Amino acid sequence: MARRLTIPVLLLLALITGCSRTTATQGYHGVRADWSISSLEAKLPQPYRASDVAAAAEGALVRMGYTIYERTDSEDHALVVASPAQAGPLEKVVVRAIPSGRRVIVRISTRPLGDEDRARIVLDEMLVLLGL
């Protein structure tokens, strides 16, 4: 009986802790980044273009040893999809940039399970390349 309850209890705990929202400041200029469910979201303080963010994401991920599988960017959005070296077929990092007024929202998702530390490291590397 105890064994049958162990797995559902562990899954419930993972869902509860995985759904909590955490906020931290990152970079030299204190960019606020919020982690929720399986993605990290930050608004850049200066008016960057989505293509600038895509270039920073690609540069940061390549420096960290990731393989870039997809990069698309335009005036209104950017997308970079990468996978770490020797990763499983589902393991990837997805970086999106979407303009919001005069600022750009950056959303970093780590798949399949969501890894906040990995997403924050990617954001830190991107901010360094952007001068933030």
Share of the chain above pLDDT 90, in %: 58
pLDDT tens-digit readout, 1-18: 555 545 554 444 444 444
Q: How many CB atoms lie within 10 A of CB 85?
A: 8
pLDDT tens-digit readout, 36-78: 989 999 999 878 899 999 999 999 999 999 999 999 998 889 9
Residue 33 has pLDDT above 80, yes or no: yes
Write out the H or E segment, with its range, that includes residue 55: helix 50-63
Domain residue spans of the chain: 21-130
Of residues 19 and 121, the one with the higher pLDDT is 121
pTM for the whole thing? 0.81
Per-chain mean pLDDT for the chain: 85
Distance CA 117, CA 115 (A): 6
Residue 130 has pLDDT above 60, yes or no: yes
Give the three-class secondary structure for 21: coil
- Residue 10 DSSP one-character state: H
Of residues 24 and 7, the one with the higher pLDDT is 24
Of residues 13 and 86, the one with the higher pLDDT is 86
CATH of region 21-130: 3.30.310
